[in-house]
Structure 1
Amino acid sequence: MNDVLIGSFISAMSTGIGAMPILFMRKNVTHRLRDILLAYAAGIMTSASMYNLIPEALGQSNLFVLTAGLLLGALVLLVLEMNIPHIDLENSDQSPLFPIEARAFLIVTAITLHNLPEGLSVGVSYASEDQSLGNLIAFSIGLQNAPEGFLVALFLVNQNIGRLKALGIATLTGAVEIVTSLLGFYLSSFVSGLVPYGLAFAAGAMMFIVYKELIPESHGDGNQRTATLSFLLGLLTMIGLTESF
């Protein structure tokens, strides 16, 4: 229990840690750096899903369970995506139907909802048979939460929201992961056979975010080559950490 609390807290608070540079910045972030951060986060999430969650789910079950969990995770995110309008963090002026406050609310809501399956993946991983999987997934989620928190805080500051308030809001978007992490841990611990479904569900949800959001966003401003290299670096970072620890 202590492990899942500590792990989920660290991974969730990484969102706020990543947002802290917004307090000291005086210039806007370039498209290039933004795309690098998004692609790096995509590489980390891809590695965590394909190299850790999916093999563990298969090892504890079979292809049917993996397929069901993956598709359910993607389906849940698809439903959320259809009901939460997509607004580009960088080009927020492209959504004239919403005033500034409404656009900010939509972005924060979308990011918060996307964080729910990430917290679930941490909790389910701590409930799995592999004792080291929980720490590894918590660390990987924390790594990808940092640039996400920074980009959210940057968006809020660009909408004339105070820097401290933007930092607080960005931190709260990650804090919801603690709740879903505990939920995933308790459900997996008490419901027999749920762990592999949960691992596959988390992998499917994370891969949906990678392919639907992070990769397209990182390739939309002419920085495809740089973003691709950053994606590979994120992928190799997580593989290296997995092999090391």
Structure 2
Amino acid sequence: MNSTPSSQTLNNSFRQALWQELQRRRLTAIGLALALVAVLALLLQSSIAEIGNGGGTRFQHALLGGLGGFASTAVGAMLALLLGEVRARTQDIMLGLAAGMMLAASAFSLLLPGIEAAQALVHFDVVAVFVVITGMGLGVLLMLGLDRFIPHEHENEGPCGPGCERIGRVWLFFLAIALHNLPEGVAIGVSFADNDLQVGIPLTAAILFQNIPEGLAVALALRAAMLSPVMAAVMASGTGLMELLGAFLGIGIAGGLPLAYPVGLGLAAGAMLFVVSHEVIPETHRNGHQTPATLGLMTGFAAMLLLDTLLG
């Protein structure tokens, strides 16, 4: 008699585990629900506005940006096929470089343009900042909720989320990286929502550049998890598809009502800052390479500042 549990049994077990997790973490669940409601409302009003406008080039920009995010991740992942062993110190420096670029992009290409856009609408500096901070809060709540309720794995904490014990370690790691890439895609989409290429191009370029070392580091980590080099590169490339999905989500969130644009910029910034603080920086410090990783972060921050000045 076959003792393997049926898919229906596994689905029921997962739903039960998710419900128990929701009960244990009610405040986080409420925060995630509020964030999801806000995101759905922004998407709905954006769709109505887009139907009224008859479409535009911003969706084309979001598509190109999302495809670029996927392609740059794949380029980094495929580089792993050409390299042998890469020292942990080098990987931490590369991730530090990516973290620095994400931090700078959040500040210079999301938060500051968001405040400027809000000031043009409300004419009060404090209110404009509050609008962007509200978006930041929604982004943090969204990522915090996804982090709590989507099965994935942290290197230092082990498997997380409901039903994680039923999913293989490699797939848990894949889901963790996919969650990591989602806010980057959202940021790309949001940056083109106002058809302002001076916001969209520098931010997208920064994300594309930092995706290369990220994709390489992810492929190397998957290879260390006993996957073949080719399979590790394919799976690492696959995480970049979340950037394409995120780009359409971002353009949908911020492409409707005028006030949705600064809120969307704040949301993308909050989500990216959460990922940098919660995922990337702890990973770069895990192996005792804090100083090289911090120097990499500073280099990435400076590179993004230069890139934003040249392209903006």
The structure 2 residue matched to 1:21, chosen from 55, 58, 79, is 79
- Deviations 1:29-68 (CA, angstroms, capped at 9, x unpaired): 2121111011111100000001220001101110121111
Task: Determine which structure has greater relative contact order: mean sequence separation of CA pairs < 8 Å that are 6+ residues apart, divided by chain length.
Answer: 1
Give the conservation status (yes or no) of the 8 Å contact 1:11–1:139. no
The 3-state SS of whatever aligns with 1:26 is coil
Q: Which amino acid aligns with 1:151?
A: A
Q: Quick one: which amino acid aligns to residue 18 of structure 1?
A: G
1:200-232 Cα offsets, whole Å, 9 max, x none, are 000001011111111111122221111111110
User: Which structure 2 residue ranges, 5 or more long, are not aligned?
Assistant: 1-56, 119-127
Amino acid across the alignment from 2:240: G
Q: How does 1:139-158 map to 2 (within 5 A)?
A: 139-158=205-224
Larger CA deviation: 122-131 vs 226-235? 122-131
Cα deviation, 1:136-194, whole Å, max 9, x if unaligned, reads 11111112221221122112222232222222211111112112212322442234421
SS of the aligned residue for 1:116 comes to: helix
> What SS does structure 2 have at the residue aligned with 1:127?
coil
Q: Counterpart in 2 of 1:223?
A: 289
CA–CA distance in 2 between the matches of 1:11 and 1:242?
18
| 1:85 positional shift | 4.4
Residue of structure 2 in register with 1:174 after alignment: 240
1:38 alignment partner AA: L
> In structure 1, what is the equivalent of residue 113 of structure 2?
56
**Residue 106 of structure 1 aligns to a residue in which SS?**
helix
- Identity of aligned pairs, percent? 36
Task: Give the Cα separation in 2 of the matches to 1:211 and 1:15.
Answer: 21
When the two structures are superposed, what TM-score results if normalisation uses the length of structure 1? Answer: 0.90
State the secondary structure of the residue aligned to 2:243. helix
Cα distance in 2 for residues equivalent to 1:140 and 1:163? 27
The alpha-carbon deviation at position 239 of structure 1 amounts to 0.3
8 Å contact from structure 2 (residues 152, 174) kept in 1: no
AA aligned opposite 1:115: N
SS of alignment partner, residue 154 of structure 2: coil
**1:110 corresponding residue in structure 2:** 176
CA distance in 2, matches of 1:212, 1:72: 16
Structure 2 partner of 1:239: 305
Contact (CA 8 Å) 2:65, 2:247: kept in 1 or not?
no
Counterpart for residue 9 of structure 1 = 67
The residue number in structure 2 matching 1:46 is 103
Letter in 2 for 1:87: H
The normalised TM-score by structure 2 is 0.71
Question: Which residue of the other structure, out of 131, 135, 139, is the alignment partner of 2:201?
Answer: 135
- State whether residues 70 and 200 of structure 1, in contact with CA within 8 Å, keep that contact through their aligned partners in structure 2: yes
Specify the code of the residue in structure 2 equivalent to 1:132: Q
Contact kept in structure 2, 1:4 and 1:134, CA below 8 Å: no
Deviation at 1:129, TM superposition (A): 5.5
| Cα distance in 1 between the residues matched to 2:61 and 2:285 | 37
CA distance, structure 2, for counterparts of residue 176 and residue 224 of structure 1:
29
Q: Matches of 1:199 and 1:117 in 2, distance apart?
A: 11
- Distance in 1 between residues matched to 2:288 and 2:255, nearest whole Å: 46
When the two chains are superposed, the root-mean-square deviation of aligned CA atoms in Å is: 2.3
Q: State the shift of 1:233 in Å.
A: 0.2
Shift of 1:102: 0.8
Q: Which has the larger radius of gyration?
A: 2
